[in-house]
Amino acid sequence: MKLVTISRNWSKMAPEYIPGRCNIGRRGRAIRLTMGVVLIGLSIILGIFVLNPSNHLVRLGLAFPFYVGILACLEGSMSFCVLHAARGSYDLHEPRGFASKRSRTLEKVGSEDWKMLDRRKALRMHLEAATGAILLALLLAFT
């Protein structure tokens, strides 16, 4: 019962930039998470049904779409965009749901320390996505 209350309050919280923690809003999270799940699912289907009769090593080429899909899922679940971190910006009200320089709500990160925290978090997310992609591609290649 208490978990539901926490979850309900969390969804109504006003979005705010937190260095190294949150740099995108609700719309960006939803689009990134959906895109990541779809990309991972399509890659698995492609690996199982289309590339099944071919050489097992060809399926290792699916590591890149797995990487992009896992990174998008991580961005959606962690409320953190690695592209915004690289640019030193944040956008809590993205009109299109992806990092665009043309957004009117795009804001620059003020402190160099905050930018460093964002870049450190982005690097960790890249490493997690790469590790997951390699493991998924190996699992798919040798099944």
pTM of the model: 0.84
Residue 91 near residue 105 (C-beta atoms within 8 A): yes
* pLDDT, block means (10 residues), the chain with 143 residues: 45 69 89 94 87 73 94 94 91 75 81 93 96 93 79
- How many C-beta atoms lie closer than 10 Å to residue 74's C-beta? 20
Q: Which value, to the nearest 10 degrees, does the dihedral of the CA atoms of residues 65, 101, 93, 70 take?
A: 10
> Domain-by-domain residue ranges, the chain?
55-96+111-143
The packing angle between helices 112-141 and 63-78, to 10°, is 140
Give the model's pLDDT for residue 83.
Answer: 92
Give the model's pLDDT for residue 7.
Answer: 45
